[in-house]
Amino acid sequence: MADSSFDVPRYLAVLPMFKDIEPEVLRRVASRSQLKRMGRGDMLFRVGDPCLEFYVTVFGQVKLFALSPGGQEKVFELVGPGTSFAEAPMFVGGTHRVNGQALVDTLLLAISKEAVLGEIAHDPTFALRMLAGLSRRLHRLMDDVEAYSLHTGLRRVVDYLLRELKADGAAGSTVSLPASKATVALRLSLTPEYFSRVLHQLEAAGLIRIEKREIRVHSPECLRAFSELENDATLVCPRAVCLRADVQRALAANA
CATH number of residue 234's parent domain:
1.10.10.10
Query: How many structural domains is the chain composed of?
Result: 2
pLDDT for res 168: 59
pLDDT for res 254: 53
In a shared domain, residues 127 and 156:
no
Q: Cα separation of 168 and 172, whole Å?
A: 8
pLDDT for res 170: 46
CB 173 within 8 A of CB 165: yes
Residues of the chain with pLDDT under 50: 1, 170-171, 232-233, 235, 244-247, 251
In a shared domain, residues 81 and 8:
yes
Of the three residues 100, 119, 149, the one that is the final residue of a domain is 149
In a shared domain, residues 156 and 244:
yes
In a shared domain, residues 143 and 245:
no
Which pairing describes strands 62-67 and 73-79: parallel, antiparallel, or unpaired?
Answer: antiparallel
In a shared domain, residues 122 and 203:
no
Q: Cα separation of 201 and 207, whole Å?
A: 9
Which residues are bridge partners to 229 per DSSP?
A: none
pLDDT for res 113: 87
Of the three residues 98, 121, 149, the one that is the final residue of a domain is 149
pLDDT for res 213: 86
In a shared domain, residues 145 and 156:
no
Q: Which residues in 158-167 are b (16+ Cβ under 10 Å) and which e?
A: bbbbbebbee
In a shared domain, residues 87 and 156:
no
Q: Is the pTM of this model over 0.75?
A: no
In a shared domain, residues 200 and 140:
no
CB 227 within 8 A of CB 155: yes
Domain that holds residue 142: 3-149
Residues contacting 176, CB < 8 A, separation 6+: 168, 213, 214, 215
- Measured in Å, how far apart are the chain's first and last C-alpha atoms? 61
Of the three residues 116, 134, 149, the one that is the final residue of a domain is 149
How many degrees, rounded to 5, is the angle at CA 13 between CA 8 and CA 15? 100
How many degrees, rounded to 5, is the angle at CA 90 between CA 38 and CA 100? 30
In a shared domain, residues 46 and 104:
yes
In a shared domain, residues 111 and 54:
yes
In a shared domain, residues 141 and 156:
no
